[in-house]
Amino acid sequence: MNGFDRVHAAMNGRWPDTVPIMLHNFMPAAREAGYSQREFCNDPRKAADAFIRMTEKYDLDGVVMDFNTATIAGALGVTVTFSENEPARCSKGVLKSLKEVDDLKDADISNDKYIRIWLDTMRLLREHFGNEKYLRGNVDQAPFSIAGMMRTQTEWLIDLTDKENHEMAIRLLEYCTRASCRFVQLMTDAGAHMVSSGDSPAGPDMISPAMYRKFALPFEDEVAAYAHGCGVPYLLHICGNTDAILDGFANRPVDAVELDYKTDIRRIHDLVLISNVTFWGNVDPSDVFALGTPDEVRKEKQKLVELFSDTPRFILCSGCALPSLTPGQNIRAFCER
């Protein structure tokens, strides 16, 4: 089996010849290739070069193509700050009040400079790897997270505490869902084998499970269903401890989850056993990957491989984005077969 075959098998509940290995590694990929984050996110050829070098150097089974968490929001008018050696971040919202939602007009995000850079990078990766490596195209953030960037996170969470705001909040989420689905279509057309998005502000570390079920889950599921209509599977990433919402994943259209090391790993394992969800994860990217030793990485990796040895629906991954200074020797230890 090649890398594409392994990941494709695991995503479809079939046994691969060995556990597939992927990494959420755009920051160390840029550093190892000698590019600053500013260079990396402004030039698709440099971005593709960085991903290709990292994938081939460590014999990964594919690419998790990602740049930052601010691109859709930026395409919708949010002010984004770019720095030399850190990923771009949202710095100022575009909505002073939820009452401005009805004034929003659907933006054609395909014309945005940075959306195009993501798409051009995916095209270059597909041109280089074809179906030898599995290409997961991140489509930035899920609707709840985008809405928080448009209002700023603090104001968005305050908005949701007042029931009188809920109707307008739903309209904002519908607007963000349309943008997210458009990115899914564009990324699929660019050659991605699957798509993914993040929704960490919607996790239990930030909002209650009841709020998650009302304001995040339906819109995540709509994006997942739209991805299926485009012919690709969908993965949802949420940081933090997701124990309080984990059981609900069993009967959703989400094909895969990438959850933080803070979530009870045995509960994730049990979810995989009773559902068609594939788990991507999840060695701690900071304390273990970036700050630990190769032996510590091997130890945590082996725990995961042993726990998930009774299911094919497992892809060994970092669980979240690796810091840029993650040592190459730790990445090498993780990728040992």
229-244 residue pLDDT tens: 999 999 999 999 999 9
Tens digits of per-residue pLDDT, 275-324? 999 999 999 999 999 999 999 999 999 999 999 999 999 999 998 999 99
Structural domain includes residue 300: no
Q: Does residue 48 lie within any of the structural domains?
A: yes
Quick one: average pLDDT of 133-138?
98
Q: How far is CA 10 from CA 138, 221, 261, 311, 336, in A?
A: 19, 21, 20, 9, 19
Question: Which pLDDT score, from 0 to 100, does residue 254 have?
Answer: 98
Is 298 a domain residue?
Answer: no
- Is there a domain that residue 24 lies in? yes
For residue 204, tell me if it sits in a domain.
yes
Residue 180 lies in domain:
3-256
d(CA 223, CA 182): 9
User: Is residue 334 domain-resident?
Assistant: no
Report the CATH number at residue 98.
Answer: 3.20.20.210
Residue 80 lies in a domain: yes
pTM of the model as a whole: 0.97
328 within some domain? no
Give the separation between CA 120 and CA 43, rounded to whole angstroms: 9
DSSP labels for 21-86?
A: B----HHHHHHHHT--HHHHHH-HHHHHHHHHHHHHHTT-SEEEE---S-HHHHHTT-EEE--SSS
Integer CA distances (angstroms), 274 to 198, 248, 264, 311, in order? 24, 12, 16, 10
Q: What are phi and psi of 20, to 5 degrees?
A: -65, 145
Query: What pLDDT does 1 receive?
Result: 98
Number of domains in the chain: 1
pLDDT in tens, 50-95: 999 999 999 999 999 999 999 999 999 999 999 999 999 999 999 9
